[in-house]
Amino acid sequence: MSTNKESWGTRVGLILAMAGNAVGLGNFLRFPVQAVQNGGGAFIIPYLVCFLLMGIPLLWIEWTMGRYGGRFNNHSTPFILDNMTRLRFWKYFGVFGIFTNIAVAAYYCYIESWTLSYVYHSLAQTFSGLSQSQVAQFFGDYVNIGFSTTGIPYEAVVFYILCLLLNTYILSRGLQGGVEKVAKIGVPMLLLFGAFLAFRGFTLGASGAPEGCEDCDSALGLNFLWEPQFTSLTDPKVWLAAAGQIFFTLSVGMGTIHCYASYVRPKDDIALNAMSAGWMNGFVEVVLGASIVIPIAVGYLGLDWVKENAGFAMAFQTMPYLFDQWGPLLSTLAGLFWFGLLFFAGITSSLAMGTPWMGFMEDEFNWGRNKAAWSFGGLVLLMGLPTVFFFNQGVFDEYDYWAGTVSLVIFALAESIIFSWRFGIDKAWNELTSGADIKVPLFFKPIIKYVTPLIILVVFLGALITPKN
């Protein structure tokens, strides 16, 4: 049990912190690529179905578990599971979840550190006048640590350490003084930057099309992503991808929501707050996330090219080249906005990943937040160095698969079963709805009890039998 007396400053601060936790690199880098690779508009229906039947219920489950644990002055998943089940096993199971966070933070912060470096390079106009392949080459050199022929050797390591220091410092300032403050600045800023870039995605049209390119029109990109297609609804791969995206983007199955929600006062609403953060994340993902990289790239390079080449590194390998077509001033601004947006999206999520470890150290050993924060930074650095040094050898993908995909699903399955079947759905429902500022529709009760765990189970089994790539 922790003796630290922390709490959220305001309701707006709490919602922004939770939205910042959810809105992350996943919304801007992962979602568009998943959508393109799974048939564009064909992806959107499974995505929405998974959001409603699995995403929203899991948000409610985690918020409820968190606020419940807070009542016993506990702030970490192992202790919360112990409070709910009174079984030792689940406490140890919760500890496994803490390490998932550290593994995800390790590779997540690496990408976050690229955004910092690219903000710097945009301001320094490093990409000005480079060809598309030169910009791609720059990225190749950047991640090929130590073999770089341009820029500072080991630049990626320097920015990685800087990024970890920044995260650790903010975490050491505490919930109100660190996390909430950053969310209050970061989330509005990223919305503003996103709106500017999405406007460009909407209005670019075919005005940037090179001679002879028939399918270079940003509107084609937007249509491709948004026009619902019913053809691949029977393809299990598309459903699995949609479910996987919902997990990652909502930050469920990691214990970050447990920890944040454990600082909500027992009488305060969780039902509406959880929905607000969830819908805000969905809006940012489907509206802003889909309107930037893909349509702008389609405007210059064509829909076929984008379908073939979509990958999350496009944001770094291709975007600076496309921005450069807008003239010196606008391109510098666009680079600053794009990488600044990614940075704010990233840091408000990586901070969340630090809190379960900190909460656990406080609950178990009564550590102060300074010690807890710096030990988190140190562990992430240790876990992160392999992905930094062996990025090209596929270490990154292994982390993403085991920590960022498989364990989230296992965790979510366990907690949804514990919530409805061990803690008991009636008690759980009372917990969820007490203090609620909305009337949670009663049909969600059977959904939470039967449908959500069943979908997660299907996703889990499906992922086991589908080849990794």
Binding positions for ligand PHE, rule: CB under 6 A? 21-22, 24-27, 248-249, 251, 254, 256, 349, 352-353
How is residue 191 written in tokens? 């919305």
Cβ atoms of residues 63 and 273 within 8 Å: yes
One DSSP character per residue, 401-442 reads HIIIIIHHHHHHHHHHHIIIIITTHHHHHHHHHTT-SS---T
Choose between 242 and 301: whose C-beta lies nearer to ligand PHE.
Answer: 242
Minimum distance from residue 304 beta carbon to ligand PHE (Å)? 28
Least distance to ligand PHE from the beta carbon of 406, Å?
A: 13
Q: By C-beta, is 22 or 116 nearer to ligand PHE?
A: 22
Q: How far is the CB of 431 from ligand PHE (least distance, A)?
A: 23
Q: Please give the Cα distance from 151 to 281 (Å, whole number).
A: 36
Closer CB to ligand PHE, 232 or 281, in the complex: 281
Residue 55 burial class via C-beta count within 10 angstroms: exposed 0-12, middle 13-18, buried 19 and up: buried
The least distance separating ligand PHE from the CB of residue 204, rounded to whole angstroms, comes to 25
Tokens of 312: 């999350």
Q: Which is nearer to ligand PHE, 303 or 319 (CB)?
A: 319
State whether the Cα torsion 377-380-386-391 is positive or negative: negative
Comparing every residue's Cβ against ligand PHE, the nearest one is 24
**58-68 core/surface letters (b: 16 or more CB in 10 A; e: else):** bbbbbbbbbbb
**How far apart are the C-alpha atoms of 32 and 47, rounded to whole Å?**
12
Contact 13, 241 (CB under 8 A): no
CB of 254 to ligand PHE, least distance (A): 4
- List, in sequence order, the alpha helices (H) in 144-268: 155-172, 181-203, 218-226, 236-250, 256-261
Least separation in angstroms between residue 426's CB and ligand PHE is 30
Q: What is the DSSP letter of 368?
A: -
- Given the structure tokens 């995505």, which residue do they identify? 47
In the complex, least distance from residue 18 CB atom to ligand PHE, rounded to whole angstroms: 11
Looking at the Cβ atoms of 208 and 289, the one nearer to ligand PHE is: 289
| 414 closest CA partner among 93, 101, 98, 99 | 93
**Which is nearer to ligand PHE, 34 or 256 (by Cβ)?**
256
Nearest one of 158, 162, 163, 29 to 109, comparing CA atoms: 163
Question: Nearer Cβ to ligand PHE, position 29 or 209?
Answer: 29
The span from the first CA to the last CA of the chain, in angstroms, equals: 42
Cα 140 from chain centroid? 24
Q: Establish how many alpha carbons lie within 13 A of residue 441's alpha carbon, considering only the half-sphere containing its beta carbon.
A: 8
| Residue the block writes with tokens 């809190």 | 355
Nearer residue to ligand PHE within complex by CB, 135 or 163: 163
Of the pair 55, 208, the CB lying nearest ligand PHE is at 55
Smallest gap, in angstroms, from Cβ of residue 47 to ligand PHE? 14
Q: How far is the CB of 31 from ligand PHE (least distance, A)?
A: 8
Between residues 102 and 135, which has the closer beta carbon with respect to ligand PHE?
102
- The least distance separating ligand PHE from the CB of residue 24, rounded to whole angstroms, comes to 2
